[in-house]
């Protein structure tokens, strides 16, 4: 709700400034531009399955009956199974039945800044830096072994629990933008390369109110960071609106084909972002007015 309100307020203020600034002049020539970014990010779903409890961060490391802690001084993992057996499953043994296979990230707001250098009135090189916090939540099932003599699974013995992941994701884009037309409102196209970095923050399960961290215990013990640096490309377009002389707004959408160092095998996946940039020109000259010709 807070993100939605923030987006609405930002759009309202930006377009209000646009319409009250009727004396705007379009700048031309070489020079720098700085902008702040806000976007609505639609991340790939492929990498969300990193958090489903079947891989590096395995549920078996935490609640398996025979699990052993990597840290000899930490008996926490050895006690989890017995705690759940007595407090949640009424003294019955249990085992994980099915893990989610189609986890998805929530669409989120993204924030950052943009620095560009205008090679001319129409062409500019830019660097775009954005950060976002991604979350994914799904359910997995546990088979409570109330009757081991039967060969089928009684649906009454299936228990649903929650599994969740959280990561920080940074995107740095280096690209070229081209403006089209000569009006205060101009279409633009842009594209370039993407560098990204992912840092896993949380991977947890919730069973009957008991929350367990399934982050790989060996990685945690040796302080190994999960994630890494990936690459990609992007392309997109939108509208640039000039107002209040040195100010401008970019409103557009970019499409990405990026690889993130998270879920193996690493694959290039499609993403997109709807963005708004509020920019100010730094040390760029204003366009000179062309004198009207006198008709004799």
- pLDDT tens readout for residues 250-274: 999 999 999 999 999 999 999 999 9
pLDDT score for 246? 83
CATH top-level class of 2-282: mainly beta
Give the percent of the chain with pLDDT over 90: 65
| pLDDT per residue as tens digits for the range 134-186 | 999 999 999 998 765 555 555 568 999 999 999 999 999 999 999 998 888 89
What's the whole-number mean pLDDT along residues 1-24? Answer: 55
Residues 6+ away with beta carbon under 8 Å from 152: none
pLDDT score for 74? 54
Q: Is the confidence at residue 120, as pLDDT, over 50?
A: yes
Q: Is the confidence at residue 72, as pLDDT, over 70?
A: no
| pLDDT per residue as tens digits for the range 13-57 | 555 555 544 455 566 678 999 999 999 999 999 999 999 999 999
For residues 272 and 77, give the distance between their C-alpha atoms in angstroms, rounded to a whole number. 40
What's the whole-number mean pLDDT along residues 65-94? Answer: 75
Q: For the chain, what are the domain ranges?
A: 2-282
3-state secondary structure of 266: coil
For residues 160 and 140, give the distance between their C-alpha atoms in angstroms, rounded to a whole number. 6
3-state secondary structure of 215: coil
For residues 143 and 158, give the distance between their C-alpha atoms in angstroms, rounded to a whole number. 5
């Amino acid at each position: 709700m807070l993100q939605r309100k923030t987006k609405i307020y930002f759009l309202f203020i930006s377009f209000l400034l646009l319409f009250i600034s009727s004396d705007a002049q379009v700048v031309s020539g070489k020079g720098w531009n700085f902008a702040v970014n806000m976007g609505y990010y639609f991340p790939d779903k492929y990498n969300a399955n990193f958090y489903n409890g079947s891989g590096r961060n395995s549920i078996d490391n935490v609640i398996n009956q025979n699990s052993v802690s990597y840290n000899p001084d930490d008996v926490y993992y050895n006690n989890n199974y017995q705690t759940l057996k007595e407090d949640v499953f009424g003294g019955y043994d249990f085992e994980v039945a099915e893990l989610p296979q189609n986890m998805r990230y929530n669409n989120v707001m993204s924030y950052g800044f943009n620095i560009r250098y205008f090679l001319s009135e129409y062409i500019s090189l830019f660097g775009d830096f954005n950060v976002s916090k991604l979350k994914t939540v799904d359910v997995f099932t546990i088979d409570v072994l109330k009757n081991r003599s039967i060969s089928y699974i009684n649906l009454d013995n299936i228990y649903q629990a929650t599994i969740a992941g959280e990561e920080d994701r940074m995107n740095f884009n280096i690209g070229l933008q081209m403006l089209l037309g000569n009006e205060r409102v101009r279409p633009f196209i842009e594209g370039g390369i993407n560098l990204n970095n992912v840092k896993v923050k949380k991977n947890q399960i919730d069973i009957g109110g008991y929350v367990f961290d399934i982050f790989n215990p060996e990685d945690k013990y040796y302080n190994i960071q999960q994630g890494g640096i990936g690459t990609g490309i992007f392309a997109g377009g939108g509208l640039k609106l000039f107002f209040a002389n040195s100010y401008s707004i970019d409103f557009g959408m970019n499409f990405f084909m990026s690889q993130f160092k998270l879920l193996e095998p690493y694959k290039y996946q499609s993403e997109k972002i709807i963005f708004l940039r509020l920019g100010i020109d730094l040390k760029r000259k204003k366009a000179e007015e062309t004198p009207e010709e006198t008709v004799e």
